[in-house]
Structure 1
Amino acid sequence: MGFALKNQVFLLCVMVLLLAVLCYSEDTFTRSRATYYGSPDCYGTPSGACGFREFGRTVNDGSVAGVSRLFRNGTGCGACYQVRCTTPQYCADEGVNIVVTDYGEGDKTDFILSPRAYAKLARPNVVSQLFSYGVVDIEYRRISCKYSGYNLMFKVDENSNYPSYLAIVLMYVAGKNDITAVELWQEDFQQWMAMRRAYGAVWDLANPPSGPIKLRFQVSGSSGIKWVKSKNDLPGDWKAGAAYDSYIQLT
């Protein structure tokens, strides 16, 4: 009886500790630094390392950022973060929610924000003072991406060359999810074939199968790692620059 009771107490303590760790990791901010880059219209850049092009310039109303270690060899592309600076007289309480669209290194910074995003760090009427700092102390945490009215999309990259070379870029990855692998179905061999992460959020394959192409994505997130199949095939006459809806709603 005594041994069983000790085991139950031990298990209860472990569960409490695990719950505490989960809550801590979900809500805790990490301290770092942030700066901003020049942009004539204060939006993002269409030439970022994630390969998003125009999506990377305008997504999230231009509140985007380049990151260094959070880039994770491209896996971090499309991740969302809450960033807030920590100088009380200048900084807004909630800060800004950003989408990662680029890679960039600054002066011991984790974020290089678009001017539009950097301005949202500041309290009203002190934006210019915050910009004069150039680099500010911040704290950040990862948050869920939310795209009202959008499913996961795959766009045929402009560098694709029908029918010999196919590259796709994945957009509107909702939730706190990373796309860690992409595969397409080879009907002739009745098996899935891995696409290569070319860079950022761009996946490619030379000599893709002809005809409609089935795709599936390996998703890593808070619910673990799983494969999800697109509910919409890439058409057999796919065209560079065209975007297609997967009809998958990630959460």
Structure 2
Amino acid sequence: MGNTFLNLALLIIFQFSIRPTFSMKLTTILTDQSALLALKNHVYDPENVLETNWSSSTHVCNWFRVSCGSRHHRVTALNLSGLGLVGTLPPSLGNLSFLSLLSITNNSFHGRLPVQLSNLRRLKHLSFGNNSFSGEIPSWLGSLTELRSLFLNHNNLNGVIPFSLGNLSKLEIWTLSGNQLFGSIPSSIFNISSLQKMDLSNNMLSGSIPPVSRDLLSIELINFNINNLTGHLSKDMF
């Protein structure tokens, strides 16, 4: 009698202990799906690519241009480049917490970048080039410290370049060309020793070019053309 009661109590405790784990796993899968469906609802899709290929009747990891990791089965890459999409980015996109690549280059996304994207702390590659994003470059981009590449070229971005971008210590490729940026170039940018390519051309930047750290031995390209900058980069800096 005593053993039976004990076994029953242990069974109840075990059942309650595994419920949150299962619920949390299910919630995270649904969170990714919900975030992508919100994106689908925020855009005009002229070719009906997302309408045809993104459906709750199939697993999100099998959706068009969506990749998932083999370990956690969460969305790790979203590449919607060149699909002719028109719209805005929903805040829920910041819930894709396992995302390492986000590319929407060559579309017609507009509006400001939602601050919720600052939650994407695993992000390594961010490509928003050739869209119509407006407003200032958000300072929270400096919190995405795993970034290796950052493409914000050819948008309608204005204002100054945030000093916080100097926190991106792993950044290798960075382009802000073809915007309406003004002010000086933050000296913090030139402390990123991993930097290989930097393109700030076709803006309205002014002031003097900051000194370049001798640690930037691997740099391949620096393009400051079509700005109002003074000074120059000396070869003996490298």
Report the TM-score, using the length of structure 1 for normalisation: 0.28
Q: Which protein has the larger Cα radius of gyration, Structure 1 or Structure 2?
A: 2
Report the TM-score, using the length of structure 2 for normalisation: 0.29
Higher normalized contact order (CA 8 Å, seq sep 6+, divided by chain length): 1
Name the structure with the higher strand share.
1
